[in-house]
Structures are given as C-alpha cells and as structure tokens.
Amino acid sequence: MRGEGDRLGVLDEHWEAYEVIADDTHRFLWMWHGYNIRVIGVPKDVEQSMGYDWAWCYPRDPWLVAEHLRTWDPSTQDEPVGWHKRPTAKARRAPLRERNPEYNRPRCVHGCYIDEGCRTINCEG
C-alpha cells in the first residue's frame, strides 16, 4: 500500500533522493542539501550516474517542491517554478519549448523572469 510519503516521490538509494518525475532522457529527483532542497536532473542513459545535468535549489519544504515538479512539463517548459538558485552553469532548454513561449522567457540566476524583475537585491540579471 502506498502511503502519504509517496507523494514526495520514490526513494533512489544511490542518490539518497526522491524521484518525482521523469521525461524521455532524465529523471528529476529532490534531496536534502544543507539549508536547501536541491532538485537534480539525472541522465537516464548512464547507469548509476555520478553526475547531473541541471540543478535548482528550493526552500526546505519537500511537499511544495514535489508539487512544483508534478506541475512542471519538462517537454515544453525549460525549468520548474519556485526555485531560488540555479547552481549549474547552464539553464535547461525544453525540447519543445516553442509550444510554451510565455513560460520560457529569460530568467535571472535566482529564477525570476527578467522582464518582471528579481526579488533579490542587486541582482545583475
């Protein structure tokens, strides 16, 4: 029987993280990471991969993070919502991003849409 905790994802013991969603090429997991929760995009094609292609930091609310991931469409949306830091160098680009141009506007490193302004003081965009 699946319990309430299953809404948080399925435990991946290798990563010590919870897989919430996946697309054709990546699995998206969240893990406790210091003062944050980190969501990572792990390639499916590498067995027991030790690296990930993208990451986003969130406040320490696993229920909210899991919900953000469940409402995200990785095929048409570049990145999930709600994150406050992107620790990886490159931003993710969805394979069918032209289907959702409003969602895929440029963002600053803090996750805010540049045309709406950033919530972080002295953000350089």
pLDDT band at 87 (very low <50, low <70, confident <90, very high): very high
List, in order, residues 6 or more apart from 70 with CB less than 8 Å away: 20, 21
| Chain length of the chain | 125
User: Strand pairing partners for 27?
Assistant: 22, 42
Q: What would the two tokens of residue 3 be?
A: 């319990």
Nearest residue to 119 via CA among 109, 54, 101, 56 = 109
Dump pLDDT digits (tens) for 17-61. Answer: 999 999 999 999 999 999 999 999 999 877 666 789 999 999 999
Strands 10-12 and 54-58: unpaired
Q: Is the pLDDT of residue 3 over 50?
A: no
**Selected residue with higher pLDDT from 49 and 123:** 123
| Cα(63)–Cα(113) distance, integer angstroms | 24
